[in-house]
Chains A and B, each alone.
Chain A
């Protein structure tokens, strides 16, 4: 029984190389491979500017956090970005106590993240 995670994708008006990806469920060791495949699939299509909407992401563990850091680093290497918005309090705490808030590109609101796209 793998933990369920769903990733849904939508366009960002006026930004052909950007997508908003909504994470729904739990991000953990049982589904990081699936998640990595999806995100790197977008990168491979030239969609290197990803805004990850975590509004419906309930849970993340250290393995999940590891892939988020990996996405962030890989996107930058491709002259893109991996921005995170709408973190719930519990997920933010995990990122914060592991010291990764300064390593990730985190925004409070979706509009802010979209506006920050270059």
Chain B
């Protein structure tokens, strides 16, 4: 058997009915164009609009094949889809880059990375986490640092991640300070992050003795942009309001809920 023989196979990823993965191995030269066109036909017949081409096993690719990919990508794009490359080895990646393909196609390290990008960039799916912790101040730093890392891992800039970390810190500190301090109670942080924004919801049980004070405290913070030298209270809420794009506080006898939306400001 020729080790360089061209082999192609399609697998439909379970993530979505519209995603197909075309795995190619061997030499993709002019003689393989007909086979490639045939697979494109099958993918079209199955109504799959998003094609991930796995080139990890490809040893050579000719410019005619690249032209074929460009043509099919255009067809998919016209239907709102895309064709992306995954698993590009060093020499193939260099060649495609030299040919300018990186300006037309997205390159991903592997199929998994391409699928993640499909979910994140193309379908604009969000990721969510929920963290529950007892109302202890010392637990706030690891929570805020966790959220900051999550933002960084999902492509947010250092500055945006810092702002998000600050918002989480301030909201959670307020929950510890003004909520029920009973170790049996808990603060629940729900965070949803997508490519464009972070949404944060923090709830905690109310302390009946602190509710009226808390209602008063949120007033100046909501009304004032700047806090003076002698204002001991309200800096945290003022900071959250100024760092975020929307903040909503609900206080009831049962609990306090703070909802914050922070839009992504900087692209990496």
Contact = CB atoms under 8 A, between A and B. Distances in A.
Secondary structure class of chain B's binding surface, majority of residues: helix
A89 B166 CA distance: 14
B140 interface: yes
Contacts of A26: 141
B258 to A, nearest CB: 15
B236 A1 contact: no
Contacts of A29: 137, 140, 173
A66 B170 contact: no
Interface string B189-210: 0000000000000000000000
B266 interface: no
A99 interface: yes
A2 B145 CA distance: 13
B120 to A, nearest CB: 25
B138 A103 contact: no
B230 to A, nearest CB: 8
A69 B139 CA distance: 25
Contact of B239 (A1, A59, A94): A94
- A26, A66, A69, A98 pick with most chain B CB within 10 angstroms: A98
A36 to B, nearest CB: 14
Interface of A: 1-3, 26, 28-30, 59, 61-63, 65-66, 69, 73, 89-90, 93-94, 97-100, 103
Task: Rank and list the top 7 A-B pairs by shortest CB-CB distance, nearest first.
Answer: A99-B226, A62-B235, A62-B236, A90-B162, A3-B141, A97-B242, A103-B229
